[in-house]
Structure 1
Amino acid sequence: MEKRTNTASWDEKNRRWRISVQRDGQRRSFYSSTPGRTGQREANAKADRWLESGVNAAGATVASVYPEWIKRLQTTTSASNWRPIDSRWRKWINPAIGGKKLDRITEQNLQDIVDAAFAAGLSKKTLTSMCCDLRSFFKFCRRSKLTTFSPEDLTIPAGARNKGKEILQPADLVKLFNIDTTTRWGKRVPEEYIHAYRVQVLTGLRPGELLGLEWADLKGHTLHVQRSINCRGEVTKGKNENAVRSVQLPDLAFAEIQAQRAMTGHSKQIFGISNQQNYAKRWAVYCAANGLTPVSPYELRHTFVSIAQVLPEGQVKRLVGHSRSMDTFGIYGHSVNGQDEQAADTLGSVFSSLLSRQA
């Protein structure tokens, strides 16, 4: 960015202050008819604003600026946020426009990247994240006075679809709540994570939230969800600001946790599972050993949400730690006495009904 090195001078003939400055080879003059030093300051301020409004790309390429942007994300966000961004950038964005100068980038350049990712089969969710990455990067560039480019019209191809999710069906749930064994080394053995599987499907907890639970988080029938263990073993406060919440346990879920107490009640953690990878591997073995639909641990959460459709949407969002669909809910929505207990009773009835019908 150009810096002013001169100051406005008084033009006696025209009775005004005048200052001339140059930016990127372009010269402009600014004036003020206000007498005295006030007028001089006004003219100088006009020149400064014009100089500051320009860009100073100086031939900078996308690849040369990217390290500054990702470093900022590493400083201000969690690894679970910036690492997927970095992965998408290295695979899709940098090969396409990394060598291009910022002042030569067009919106079509960016749309071509999104379209290519769509053609390769990426999901609508991933394409949406990619568009957010690009907008965020160029917003950083604008704030750094490197460009004025703003890719606001990026679009997701109309044919993009979210990846389909599998859930446990009622027959699978019956097996889950009646079979507490798995296979190891070709033999039938007790499944030590059985209560974790059941609690997750009964509460809709994320896998990391389940692993992060401690006995101190349980107060009566209320479970206070306040930490998560991510796939790298790091303890975090959860995926978003709504992740910290209290969950009123249905009787079925409370019974499973009480059964777990006999196994790990002497430990700090409720389930004592070392990491998400181990949890996912053991769950996959359990599904194969007992003929359950092979779903991921995260899809146990989808199973819960699908069954919980009998509840109002607002209650479901609170239970699973999702954001409100409207700002009004975030500002004016408050917990109503007895509402959580009612939701827990309703969910307990739904699960009990499903299990009894399939028995």
Structure 2
Amino acid sequence: MTEKTLTEYYKTVWLPCKKIELKPTSYDRLYRTVTKNVIPYLGHIPMCEIELQQVLDFFEFVYGTYSLSTSKKIYEAVNACFKFAQYIGDVPNNPMLPIKKPKKNNFSPSKEKSILTTEEIKRLKFAISVRTYKSSLLEPYIGWGYYFLLNTELRPCELLGLKWSDIKGDYIYIQRSVVSYHDEKNDNYVVLLQETLKTSSSRRKIYLNNNAKYALKQIASKTNPKGKFIMQHEGKIVKPDMLRRNWYALIKEAEVTPRELYCLRHTFASLLFRENCDIKSVSHIMGHSSVRTTYDTYIHLFEKNYKETNVLDRIILNIYDKIY
């Protein structure tokens, strides 16, 4: 039986095993879940001395504090560790056995996704096009990158992985993404270009409307034309944190209510629903793994705007012409 505390066991036994098994980005998410959400509460207790009541109290706190998604990650991180420890004989039993996995019906509905108003979209475009922002942090080509996101449904990490060679006529093919993860050894964040995407449905082609094409033209005029990547900084891939920092600089100058960068993708989805695009088509356009994912993410938009119709071609061609 082990004499290690839960913290010691995680860091010297279980996490090193998972590091070999998982992709760097997946391991980084697991590592952050363990160090942020588990160790501060149970980490000081020896593995063999953790009792059922302590685990029950901990998960009562978890399920009452965090979202369903975060609660699932915490549950899996604790349960898998104890199952592993019991399997190799490091603990006599698994105190997680009576703990129920979190279910959706026990949690409050997800918050509505934040989307930009028509007026805010106009302000953003104005700030980008006439460069009214004063921040030296914001590069002009990055501003047009946000405009490109606004006119497509790309995830920010997918934008960073785009190459000019991915453009084929009126379409751009999504084949890779750029992510960052924490390197424990050197205590810094590493930027990784990966050929794998979030789901198999994420590998897709996207129609380029006139505004998206215009944004690409502006980016090309302000970056190295010989570079492989559409978004590049001094010949290198733009880092995810640089994209986020510049975003906050832009919305501050444009006097737009602070929102996460992902609101550009949510705004695109909201405009599809506003045009009565059916949910199956929206799911396909957004690159979701299933229609259920689309429904759970945008239920508030879907229920407000749903109507059985198929106007996909008209939407993709004209959706932003109405705004501008």
Q: TM-score, normalised by structure 1?
A: 0.67
Alignment partner of 1:343 is 2:312: yes
Match of 2:100 in 1: 153
Match of 1:251 in 2: 210
Which has the bigger relative contact order, CA under 8 A and spacing at least 6? 2
Q: Distance in 1 between matches of 2:292 and 2:151?
A: 27
Q: Distance in 2 between matches of 1:76 and 1:230?
A: 18
Q: Identify which of 118, 125, 148 aligns with 1:177.
A: 125
What amino acid does structure 1 have at the position aligned with 2:54? N
Deviation for aligned residue 1:62? 3.6
What amino acid does structure 1 have at the position aligned with 2:132? T
1:1-359 correspondence to structure 2 within 5 Å: 57=1, 62-66=6-10, 67-100=12-45, 102=47, 105=50, 108-117=53-62, 121-146=65-90, 149=94, 150=97, 153-155=100-102, 158=106, 160=108, 162=110, 165-179=113-127, 180=129, 181-184=131-134, 191-231=140-180, 232-236=190-194, 237-264=196-223, 265-273=225-233, 274-309=238-273, 310-325=276-291, 343=312, 345-353=314-322, 355-356=323-324
How many pairs are equivalent? 283
Say if 1:210 and 1:185 are closer, same or farther in 2 by CA, change over 3 A: closer
Question: Alpha carbon RMSD of aligned pairs, Å?
Answer: 3.3
Q: Distance in 1 between matches of 2:70 and 2:246?
A: 28
**Structure with greater Cα Rg:** 1
Say if 1:292 and 1:138 are closer, same or farther in 2 by CA, change over 3 A: same
Say if 1:133 and 1:275 are closer, same or farther in 2 by CA, change over 3 A: same
CA contact (8 A) 1:195 1:256 kept: yes
Say if 1:282 and 1:61 are closer, same or farther in 2 by CA, change over 3 A: closer
Deviations 1:68-116 (A, max 9, x none): 2211221122232222322232233224333545565455433422333
Q: Distance in 2 between matches of 1:162 and 1:114?
A: 20
Say if 1:320 and 1:77 are closer, same or farther in 2 by CA, change over 3 A: farther
Say if 1:76 and 1:285 are closer, same or farther in 2 by CA, change over 3 A: same
Deviations 1:251-278 (A, max 9, x none): 3323322343333443211122521222
Match of 2:304 in 1: none
Q: Distance in 2 between matches of 1:349 and 1:123?
A: 37
Unaligned stretches of 5+ in structure 2? 181-189, 294-310
Pick which of 218-227 and 151-160 moved more. Answer: 151-160
Q: TM-score, normalised by structure 2?
A: 0.73
Q: Secondary structure at the match of 2:205?
A: strand
Say if 1:58 and 1:132 are closer, same or farther in 2 by CA, change over 3 A: closer
Q: Percent identity?
A: 21
Pick which of 97-106 and 83-92 moved more. Answer: 97-106
Pick which of 285-294 and 234-243 moved more. Answer: 234-243
Deviations 1:149-200 (A, max 9, x none): 33551446946564554221111112233441132369xx983323211111
CA contact (8 A) 1:123 1:161 kept: no
CA contact (8 A) 2:140 2:222 kept: no
Q: Distance in 1 between matches of 2:285 and 2:134?
A: 35
Deviation for aligned residue 1:213? 0.8
Q: Distance in 2 between matches of 1:228 and 1:98?
A: 34
Q: Distance in 2 between matches of 1:110 and 1:349?
A: 55
Say if 1:253 and 1:141 are closer, same or farther in 2 by CA, change over 3 A: same
Say if 1:153 and 1:190 are closer, same or farther in 2 by CA, change over 3 A: closer
Q: Secondary structure at the match of 1:182?
A: coil
Q: Distance in 1 between matches of 2:201 and 2:164?
A: 21
Say if 1:185 and 1:287 are closer, same or farther in 2 by CA, change over 3 A: closer
